Amino acid sequence: MIKKLMMGAAIALGMTAAAGAAQAAGDAAAGKDVFKECMACHTVEAGKNKVGPSLAGVVGRKAGSIDGFKYSKPMQEKAAAGFAWTADNLKAYVQAPKEIVPGGTMAYAGLKNVPKYKADADKAADDLIAFLAEQK
């Protein structure tokens, strides 16, 4: 009986997590617009860095892993600790870079409410990440 209850709870939790992930998924087309906030320093062209590293393939990538790009010491330390650009880490970073990598060199203050994208900061970040996830 307890085993059946535990299995049922695990299934329910899994379904809830899947529903949460589906809700958190952004709109890649809208994210392309949000990416305009990033274009001064980043590109999504693989192998092409600007002031910041290329964001091609960034979702799921280990931090500080673009060969030939000079990362700040704090970003190198994050990378050495195993930090990776999961969707959650990217979302937190684009909203408050200095909180996620204190002392990092990214000059961007963070994605705030952006009425021009018809979205609040959470939605805009989700959209941006959906767009970045498509950039290989």
Sketch the domain layout of the chain as residue ranges: 26-134
Mean pLDDT (whole number) for 111-134: 87
What's the CATH architecture for 26-134? Orthogonal Bundle (1.10)
What is the pTM (predicted TM-score) of this model?
0.80
Q: Kindly report, residue by residue over 24-76, the tens digit of the pLDDT.
A: 589 999 999 999 999 999 999 999 999 999 999 999 999 999 999 999 999 99
Residues whose CB is less than 8 angstroms from the CB of residue 124 and which lie 6 or more positions away in sequence, other chains included: 30, 34, 111, 114, 117
